[in-house]
Amino acid sequence: MGLIASSMADMGSVRSKAHPTKAWPVPHRRRYKVVLVSLMLVLGLLLAIAISLSFGSVALTQPEVWAALNRQGSRINQTIIWDLRLPRVLMAIMAAPVFMWLLYRRSGAITRG
């Protein structure tokens, strides 16, 4: 029994050296790339939000959108932003990951047969 336990302990030590299980710390260059890509994705999301809030049947400029978000400016613009466009944008942001998850699950089922 002692021989089996010692051989299993040796296998564990060899495996841990060959296949490290720690994901972090990430090398410096890779961490830089992860931060850069994340920052670009966040900036892209903010740009998409700004564009989607300004375009519609009533076109609003960015200063008008910003004023409406701060509860200043025209009451009509505030209603358009707060009651119509902002809820749609926020719902799209929340629904997109769910749709991507469903698409991922469905595509896996299709490829497996």
> How do residues 24-54 score in pLDDT, each as one tens digit?
665 677 788 889 999 999 999 999 999 999 9
Q: What is the pLDDT of residue 11?
A: 52
Range of the domain at 96: 23-112
| Structural domain contains residue 107 | yes
* Number of independent structural domains in the chain: 1
| Structural domain contains residue 60 | yes
| Structural domain contains residue 4 | no
| Structural domain contains residue 30 | yes
What is the identity of the amino acid at 5? Answer: A
| Structural domain contains residue 6 | no
Q: What is the pLDDT of residue 14?
A: 47
Q: Which helix (H) or strand (E) holds 52?
A: helix 28-54
Which pTM was predicted? 0.62
